[in-house]
């Protein structure tokens, strides 16, 4: 069997449904919660800067290199709904990309939520919704899974395995790995049938965060230098997992930085400088035998220095909003109302809790990016006003039955 080391590139595509300014006096009087102008403006900007040019570049790369070049995506239901509304040509370009045969589409929660941390039932329902969406748009049932923000624990992994997935992506967090390398395949500690691919955060962040940083000692990052780093990294392992936001290309790292040229030339540099090949998550999971179980008793993520869930649930504001929201889960299910169910999904988007984050350390700029609020307290008050109205609507619907 071919045992060439692999490069597994995966991109997260997501934009939230930002809430409009919702005042106390709107409660009970205004049932539409979303800032359509902001959502349309930001989505169109990201589509023009990132999604359309990067998709075109990947389509051209697939044409140049054939099946030798491969990438993977997870695309949230939240962003797909906005693309349908504001930029349907992006969906067409993703379909064209899917048609190259060089792409794997990965399952996740439909609306990029934290349901896995609180409700097994809600988590499974959302994953099912997302898998059905992937099947509808791209014609394939997803085989691999990534949770919102790569959130993972032993229990979450076991739940994912029960849903039938054989591969899951998560973070190669230092406090979990210790001396071990992220460049191997691992297994879930409860159900070894679930294989784990761990993000190499150093090499991923060279592109995602440091590429245009002129004060970084590795700047400027050229393809041959990066290919050499990939080769050196995989001397200890089988696969380098490069996981990042898709908005890295053209948005976080703007076109003038040379990011598109870097990506265009990367495959040729890899093929000339290394013996590595590009692969997809399900292919990596099938190709390499796992070296060990990974013990993750408490949830990890790819956020901040701590690589935990405190970016979303690290203060009293966030926890109050989160617990109040999920206390409605049974009521929303009982109400069985499509409009309420749709709003419940949107209100679960992890971004709403991210905006309430009060810690600003190394990733402060990331917390503020795309953030519509001046302070976490404004985010909390606005969200709780919306949630108060939503609760009234749920109760009113239940009284009708």
pLDDT digits (tens, 9 = 90+) for 145-191: 999 999 999 999 999 999 999 999 999 999 999 999 999 999 999 99
Name the more confident of 72 and 235: 72
What Rg value do the Cα atoms of the chain yield, rounded? 21
Query: Tell me, what's the pLDDT at 304?
Result: 82
Q: What is the DSSP string of 307-337?
A: TSSHHHHSSHHHHHHHHHHHTTHHHHHHHT-
Q: pLDDT tens digits, residue range 57-106? A: 999 999 999 989 999 999 999 999 999 999 999 999 999 999 999 999 99
Q: Check if 136 is active-site.
A: no
Is residue 346 a contact partner of residue 338, using CB atoms and an 8 Å limit? Answer: no
User: Residue 361's pLDDT band (boundaries 50, 70, 90)?
Assistant: very low
**In which residue are the tokens 């990965």 written?**
106
Average pLDDT rounded to a whole number, residues 346-356: 97
* Nearest one of 70, 76, 4, 20 to 379, comparing CA atoms: 20
Assess whether pLDDT exceeds 50 at residue 367: no
Rounded Cα distance between 234 and 326, Å, is 42
CB-side exposure of 337: number of CA atoms within 13 Å?
19
Instruction: State the angle between helix axes of 36-46 and 77-86 in degrees (0 to 180), rounded to the nearest 10.
Output: 90
Assess whether pLDDT exceeds 90 at residue 368: no
Query: Tell me, what's the pLDDT at 360?
Result: 63
Name the more confident of 135 and 370: 135
DSSP-assigned beta bridge partners for residue 185? 197
Sign of CA dihedral 215, 370, 133, 87: negative
Average pLDDT rounded to a whole number, residues 211-232: 94
**In which residue are the tokens 């190709």 written?**
287
User: Residue 226's pLDDT band (boundaries 50, 70, 90)?
Assistant: very high
Q: pLDDT tens digits, residue range 294-304? A: 999 999 999 88
**In which residue are the tokens 């009708």 written?**
400
Query: Tell me, what's the pLDDT at 328?
Result: 97
Span between the terminal Cα atoms of the chain, in Å: 61
Assess whether pLDDT exceeds 50 at residue 364: no
Residue 152 neighbours by CB under 8 Å, 6+ apart: 168, 170, 171, 196, 296, 299, 300, 301
Cis? peptide before 270, omega within 30° of 0: no
Of 108, 149, 171, 349, the catalytic one is: 149
User: Residue 141's pLDDT band (boundaries 50, 70, 90)?
Assistant: very high
Assess whether pLDDT exceeds 80 at residue 370: no
pTM: 0.95
Average pLDDT rounded to a whole number, residues 339-359: 95
Tokens of 203: 């090499």
Three-state DSSP state, 169: strand
Assess whether pLDDT exceeds 60 at residue 305: yes
Dihedral (C-alpha) 121, 39, 170, 317: value to the nearest 10 degrees? Answer: -70
Three-state DSSP state, 268: helix
Sign of CA dihedral 74, 78, 80, 86: negative
Rounded Cα distance between 344 and 328, Å, is 9
Query: Tell me, what's the pLDDT at 1?
Result: 44
Q: pLDDT tens digits, residue range 97-123? A: 999 999 999 999 999 999 999 999 999
Is residue 279 a contact partner of residue 6, using CB atoms and an 8 Å limit? Answer: yes
């Amino acid at each position: 069997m071919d045992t060439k080391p692999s490069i597994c590139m995966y991109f997260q595509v997501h934009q939230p449904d930002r809430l409009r300014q919702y005042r106390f006096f709107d409660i009970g009087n205004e049932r539409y919660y979303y800032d359509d102008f902001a959502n349309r403006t930001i989505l169109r900007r990201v589509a023009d800067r990132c999604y359309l040019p990067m998709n075109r570049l990947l389509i051209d790369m697939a044409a140049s290199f054939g099946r030798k070049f491969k990438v993977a995506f997870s695309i949230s239901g939240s962003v797909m709904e906005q693309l349908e509304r504001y930029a349907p040509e992006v969906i067409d370009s993703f379909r064209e990309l899917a048609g190259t045969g060089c792409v794997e589409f990965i399952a996740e929660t439909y609306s990029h939520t934290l349901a896995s941390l609180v409700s097994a039932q809600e988590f499974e329902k959302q994953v099912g919704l997302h898998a059905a969406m992937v099947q509808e748009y791209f014609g394939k049932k997803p085989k691999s899974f990534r949770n919102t923000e790569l959130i993972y624990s032993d229990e979450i992994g076991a739940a994912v395995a029960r849903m039938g997935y054989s591969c899951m992506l998560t973070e190669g967090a230092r406090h979990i790995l210790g001396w071990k390398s992220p460049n191997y395949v691992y297994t879930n500690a409860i159900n070894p049938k679930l294989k784990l691919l761990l993000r190499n955060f150093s090499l991923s962040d060279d592109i995602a965060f440091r590429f245009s940083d002129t004060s970084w000692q590795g700047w400027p990052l050229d393809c041959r230098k990066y290919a050499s780093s990939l080769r050196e990294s995989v001397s200890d392992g089988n696969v380098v997992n490069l996981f990042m936001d898709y908005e890295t290309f053209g948005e976080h790292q703007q076109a003038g930085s040379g990011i598109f040229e870097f990506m265009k030339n990367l495959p040729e540099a890899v093929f000339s400088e290394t013996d590595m090949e590009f692969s997809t998550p399900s292919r990596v999971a099938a190709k390499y035998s796992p070296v060990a179980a990974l013990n993750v008793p408490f949830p990890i993520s790819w956020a901040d220095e701590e690589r935990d869930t405190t970016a979303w649930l690290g203060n009293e504001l966030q926890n109050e909003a989160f617990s109040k929201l999920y206390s409605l889960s049974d009521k929303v299910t009982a109400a069985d109302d499509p409009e309420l169910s749709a709003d419940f999904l949107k209100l679960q988007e992890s971004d709403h809790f991210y905006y309430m984050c009060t810690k600003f350390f190394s990733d402060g700029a990331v917390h503020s990016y795309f953030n519509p609020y001046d302070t976490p307290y404004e985010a909390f008050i606005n969200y709780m006003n919306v949630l108060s109205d939503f609760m009234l609507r749920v109760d009113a619907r239940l009284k009708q039955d």
